[in-house]
């Protein structure tokens, strides 16, 4: 969105006041009044439009800022629709039910939450996508937690923590590749350097989930009822694993996420059709309306009734509004003014790291988009790190520690809205238990304050220009 930056920027104080007021209104409506995020974000858009008009900007320019802001999220919007299709088709093919069955087996032992975190972390690294991980195995684990009457907030916290460990550390992850590319750092140098903050955060999170895991064994009879209900649904079959295998194979061979999800969804739908799970007409209809469970066990039906493009419309509408607001922040000069003023005062490792972290967090909160958080902060601070004599891999690590993993903690963000919709748990409910996402920025800030693991520029590996 840097091309939206106006020639004449507002003062730093004015920009901070506008940003704080807007975020304050959004937070008040969501936290205190408990409204859906769409309402306060739309009020924020009205507020920033009024500010822009008072600053003598034409409505045409302001409208252009909104449309350009919304346009940056079109890739994510299309992906959301395909994920909605993926969930419904995987339900029909029995793929999510077999994952649930595997989850029931895991739930029959100790350390339930810790194992969920570890499993989703491993799958997240393999898939390279927090969205896909949460929408598949995450949904399955939520179903298991519902059957056990376990805390859905804690379970969602474990799923989100694991999914974003994978999103952060996988060489297949788009955010990991974006962070290394933006600041011109070798991908694997970037991943190795992130281990300084990521591994301690993983260990601490795993230990915390051990202590939080239910100290009682799950109700075996209740689990048997759910397993019997899944078995009676007739959805589970050996072919149910084929969509998973296809998705993993396409991801490992670095096919685009949209294509990988689409092929897996089509495969699952065709498998369900040939197995006559539903008539073909009804099966294709599930792509929009979602799959509905039809067993004799009502609770199992609730677990199986998910997915469809229609289930993503809430998320899509909110993403468009949030990014439109972000475009207004740029076209009015509010965010560019803050970034420009901050750059000039940074000369040490401590100030550079702290400012990078808080900028990435601030953009996540203000705009609600992790890609823009990485892109804008990375572009803004490259020169700062060079002048301070710091390796750029310090910058790329901080971008992920305070950018990638913060997005799911913001109720109106792209990740927050998606995860709360897919998992059925509000962001503010799972936020206190998303330990990995909370620990990552804390550790990177501590390293910045102490200077530990901060590499000088001499150790930096750069991409060679093509």
DSSP codes of every residue in 120-181? HHHHHHHH--HHHHIIIIIHHHHHHHHHHT--HHHHHHHHHHHHHHHHHH-TT-HHHHHHHH
Q: Are 135 and 227 in contact (CB under 8 A)?
A: no
Residues in the chain: 466
Q: Are residues 268 and 325 in the same domain?
A: no
Question: pLDDT for 253-296, tens place per residue?
Answer: 878 778 888 999 999 999 999 998 889 999 999 999 988 877 77
Residue 188 lies in a domain: yes
User: Bridge-partner residues for 185, per DSSP?
Assistant: 462
With respect to residue 466, please indicate whether it lies within any of the assigned structural domains.
no
Q: What is the pTM of this model?
A: 0.69
Please tell me what DSSP assigns to residue 390. B
Residue 147 sits in the same domain as residue 225: yes
Check pLDDT > 90 for residue 50: yes
Last residue of a domain, one of 309, 341, 357: 309
The structural domain count of the chain equals: 2
- Give me the chain's average pLDDT, please: 81
Same domain for 147 and 245, yes or no, is yes
Indicate whether 114 and 227 sit together in one domain.
yes
How far is residue 271's CA from residue 241's CA, in Å, rounded to a whole number? Answer: 11
pLDDT of residue 106: 67
Residues 295 and 339 grouped into a single domain: no
Residue at which a domain ends, from 309, 343, 360: 309
pLDDT at residue 4, rounded to an integer: 57
For residue 402, give the DSSP letter. Answer: I
Which carries the bigger pLDDT value, residue 109 or residue 278? 278
Please indicate whether residue 274 or residue 1 has the higher confidence score (pLDDT): 274
If asked whether residues 389 and 420 sit together in one domain, one would say: yes
Instruction: Tell me which of 309, 344, 377 is where a domain ends.
Output: 309
Contact 419, 160 (CB under 8 A): yes
> In 3D, which of 278, 231, 339, 263 has the Cα closest to residue 15?
339
Q: Are 315 and 80 in contact (CB under 8 A)?
A: yes
Whether the predicted pLDDT of 121 surpasses 70:
yes
The boundaries of the domain holding residue 55 are: 2-74+313-459
Pair (264, 216) in one structural domain: yes
Higher pLDDT: 440 or 453? It is: 440
Task: Please check whether residues 365 and 267 belong to one and the same domain.
Answer: no
DSSP 8-state code for residue 31: I
465 is a domain residue: no
How many Å apart are CA 251 and CA 261, to the nearest integer?
9
What pLDDT sits at residue 465? 37
pLDDT at 309 over 70: yes
Same-domain pairing of 96 and 167 = yes
**Residues whose CB is less than 8 angstroms from the CB of residue 193 and which lie 6 or more positions away in sequence, other chains included:** 393, 394, 396, 397, 453, 455
65 and 94 assigned to the same domain:
no
Torsion angle (degrees, nearest 10) of CA 361, 367, 372, 373 = 0
pLDDT at 334 > cutoff 60: yes
Residue 248 lies in a domain: yes
Same domain (yes/no): 321, 304: no
Percent of the chain at pLDDT exceeding 70:
87
The three-state DSSP-derived secondary structure of 172-185 is CCHHHHHHHHHCCE
289 and 397 inside one domain: no
């Amino acid at each position: 969105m840097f091309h939206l930056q106006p020639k004449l920027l507002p003062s730093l104080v004015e920009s901070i006041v506008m940003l704080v007021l807007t975020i304050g209104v959004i937070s008040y409506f969501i936290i205190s009044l408990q409204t859906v995020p769409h309402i306060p974000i739309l009020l924020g858009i009205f507020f920033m439009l009024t500010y822009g008009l008072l600053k003598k900007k034409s409505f045409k320019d302001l409208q252009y800022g909104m449309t350009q802001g919304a346009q940056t999220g079109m890739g994510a919007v299309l992906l959301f629709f395909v994920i909605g299709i993926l969930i419904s088709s995987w339900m029909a093919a029995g793929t999510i039910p077999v994952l649930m069955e595997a989850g029931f087996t895991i739930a029959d032992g100790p350390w339930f939450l810790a194992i969920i975190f570890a499993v989703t972390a491993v799958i997240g690294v393999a898939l390279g996508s927090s969205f896909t991980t949460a929408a598949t195995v995450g949904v399955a684990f939520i179903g298991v937690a519902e059957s056990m009457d376990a805390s859905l907030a804690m379970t969602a916290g474990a799923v989100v923590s694991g999914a974003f460990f994978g999103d952060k550390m996988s060489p297949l992850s788009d955010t990991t590749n974006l962070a290394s590319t933006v600041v011109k750092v070798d991908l694997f140098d970037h991943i190795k350097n992130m281990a300084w903050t990521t591994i301690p955060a993983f260990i601490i999170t795993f230990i915390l989930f051990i202590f939080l895991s239910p100290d009682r064994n799950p109700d075996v009879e209740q689990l048997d009822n759910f397993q019997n209900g899944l078995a009676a649904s007739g959805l589970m079959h050996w072919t149910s694993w084929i969509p998973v295998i296809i998705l993993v194979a396409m991801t490992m061979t670095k096919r685009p996420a949209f294509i990988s999800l689409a092929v897996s969804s089509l495969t699952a739908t065709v498998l369900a059709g040939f197995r006559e799970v539903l008539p073909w007409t009804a099966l294709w209809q599930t792509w929009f309306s979602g799959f509905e469970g039809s067993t004799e066990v009502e609770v199992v039906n609730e677990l199986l009734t998910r997915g469809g493009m229609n289930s993503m419309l809430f998320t899509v509408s909110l993403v468009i509004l949030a990014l439109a607001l972000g475009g207004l922040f740029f076209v009015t000069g509010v965010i560019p003014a803050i970034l420009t003023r901050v750059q000039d005062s940074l000369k040490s490792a401590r100030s550079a790291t702290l400012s990078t972290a808080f900028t990435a967090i601030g953009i996540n909160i203000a705009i609600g988009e992790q890609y823009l958080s990485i892109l804008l902060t990375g572009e803004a601070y490259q020169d700062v790190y060079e002048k301070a004599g710091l390796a750029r891999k310090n910058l790329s690590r901080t971008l992920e520690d305070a950018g990638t993993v913060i997005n799911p903690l913001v109720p109106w963000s792209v990740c927050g809205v998606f995860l709360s919709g897919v998992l059925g748990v509000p962001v503010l409910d799972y936020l206190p238990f998303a330990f990995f996402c909370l620990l990552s920025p804390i550790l990177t800030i501590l390293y910045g304050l102490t200077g530990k693991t901060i590499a000088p520029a001499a150790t930096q590996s750069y991409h060679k220009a093509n």
